[in-house]
Structure 1
Amino acid sequence: MKIAVVSDIHGNLAALDAVLADIDEAGADVTVNLGDILSGPLWVAETAERLMALELPTIAGNHERQLLELPRERMGASDAHAAAQLDDRRRAWLAWLPKTLRLTDEVLCCHGTPTHDLVYFLETVVAQPDGPGIRAATPAEARERAGTAMAGVPHAVILCGHSHVPRVLRLADGRLIVNPGSVGLQAYDDGPAHPHVVENGSPHARYAMLRRREAGWQVELRSVPYDAEAAARLAESNHRPDWADALRTGFVGRRAGVA
């Protein structure tokens, strides 16, 4: 069995189309979407329509929850931009998405962790004034976040997103945790409560391909080129220079809220 895993599209239709074309070329039995689908200053409505037509197995991320639950005045700029383009049909589609999904007997899908959509699974935010403020999670931290999810299942895989960082970690009990990275945004800064910066170092769209082998799961973290400049120009036209820098380079340049 081959599973393509996409996550954190954030309305970047150009990146999504490039990833879907790569998946089509590589071949997959199923493509699963781990959430954070529309929030951002890019192609919100177009991305929604593309995915609704594809009917991929899809779960909600924290931004889907925020779009449905928060009043507009409490939303950040990315959610507010997306909310303005949510008609009743698109909103109903987001509301229908589950928080987690058991894709197969061996594969569980979540956005952050199995119990919380805002917690990084494979990264840990740390107090680091002169650094990125984030590091790889230790096996003990990841095991605690996994809890009992898929415990005791031979060759179990937990698929997660949220941090935008492609990463694979095998727990001591054999559970495999896989983050495919982000299709749509390769760098961002977050805070202010726990300031940190995520940078993947190039504008490539990220996703993962899993293949079931006799001995377990083979994982390939893939990086796909696309027209990132077009996405950056659209972000700038929608008054998000921070996104434009991240889309062009995979690094944080201008920070959120800075002209």
Structure 2
Amino acid sequence: MSLSGPLAVIADIHGNALALAAVLDDIAALGVTRVVNLGDVFSGPMDPAGVWDLLKGRDILTVRGNHDRALVDFAPEEMWETDRLTHGLLPAEAFDWIRALPAEARLEGVYLCHGTPGQDDVYWAELVEGGRMVPAPPDRIEALAGPVTEGLMLCGHTHIPRVVRLRDGRLLVNPGSVGCPGYTDDRAPAHVMMTGTPTASYAVVEAGTAGWSVTHRSVCYDWDAAAEQARGHGRADWAKVVGTGWL
């Protein structure tokens, strides 16, 4: 372990500027000055341009998520509906920033990615069974961690706050989602994920003499206003999950 001081870990903002503002305020209130971002920054029908306004100019190490990649790799007519809507709401400078994002990063003994090493759209600590998310077995988690030498591994993508300790002592942490507490995925195997709370999630990690400590934070904000933003863009499905945590 070599990280000095606490590190705030955010992920899966998904265009929810109101949630992001609350999380950044909470981080500041804790006195934490270092933040990393695990991707899927903008894709969502709330206020992706507002997310850009909050992030631009900040010194936040960010890795690319699968929806970030979709925003720059596909033409709008080839995108999923939410990505296509987001594409039309973002300023041009945001796309230049997305294109420069790395797929993975390392920071003082910490490894960062969105999904898994080498794949931004694969679940690391979960599997899909019967249309629901379930914890993945240790052998699978450790196999995916094979190329990582860092003692702390950070990932997002599933939107589920998790801490998994590998048998060799390495720690895998998912901070949960800042701005999207549930979703449906129609790709095989089709499944649903919902946290059951509309609060904004993130984590704070810190190295200590006994190992890594992890604190998951669940932050209240005006989720009714965020739901109304989604509704205003014609997305009642997003409005329900953002406003309640349920689908």
TM-score (norm 2): 0.95
Counterpart of 2:232, as a letter, is: S
Among 231, 241, 245, the residue aligned to 2:226: 231
Q: Which moved more, 1:53-62 or 1:179-188?
A: 53-62
Q: SS in structure 2 opposite 1:112?
A: coil
Matched, 1:73 2:72: no
The residue number in structure 1 matching 2:145 is 146
CA distance in 1, matches of 2:203, 2:180: 15
Instruction: Show the 5 A alignment for 1:29-108.
Output: 29-104=33-108, 106-108=109-111
The higher-RCO structure (CA 8 Å, 6+ apart) is 2
Q: Which moved more, 1:44-53 or 1:112-121?
A: 44-53
Show structure 1 runs of 4+ deviating over 3 A. none
Asked if structure 1 preserves the Cα contact closer than 8 Å seen for 2:21 and 2:54, the reply is: no
Counterpart of 2:68, as a letter, is: E
Matched, 1:117 2:116: no
Matched, 1:16 2:20: yes
How far did 1:87 drift? 3.2
Q: SS in structure 2 opposite 1:80?
A: helix
Asked if structure 1 preserves the Cα contact closer than 8 Å seen for 2:10 and 2:178, the reply is: yes
Could you say what the CA RMSD is over the residues aligned between the two structures, in angstroms? Answer: 1.1
How far did 1:53 drift? 2.2
Q: SS in structure 2 opposite 1:165?
A: coil
How far did 1:88 drift? 2.8
How far did 1:244 drift? 0.6
Q: SS in structure 2 opposite 1:54?
A: coil
Asked if structure 1 preserves the Cα contact closer than 8 Å seen for 2:49 and 2:91, the reply is: no
Instruction: Show the 5 A alignment for 1:168-187.
Output: 168-187=163-182
Residue ranges of structure 2 left out of the alignment (5+ in a row): none
Instruction: Show the 5 A alignment for 1:179-258.
Output: 179-252=174-247
Among 157, 173, 197, the residue aligned to 1:162: 157
The residue number in structure 2 matching 1:256 is none
CA distance in 1, matches of 2:34, 2:107: 10
CA distance in 1, matches of 2:143, 2:240: 35
How far did 1:62 drift? 0.5
CA distance in 1, matches of 2:33, 2:92: 31
Counterpart of 1:114, as a letter, is: P
How far did 1:248 drift? 1.2
Instruction: Show the 5 A alignment for 1:122-133.
Output: 122-126=125-129, 128=130, 132-133=131-132
The residue number in structure 2 matching 1:28 is 32
The residue number in structure 2 matching 1:2 is 6
CA distance in 2, matches of 1:27, 1:121: 30
CA distance in 2, matches of 1:91, 1:76: 17
How far did 1:55 drift? 2.8
Give the % identical residues: 43
TM-score (norm 1): 0.91
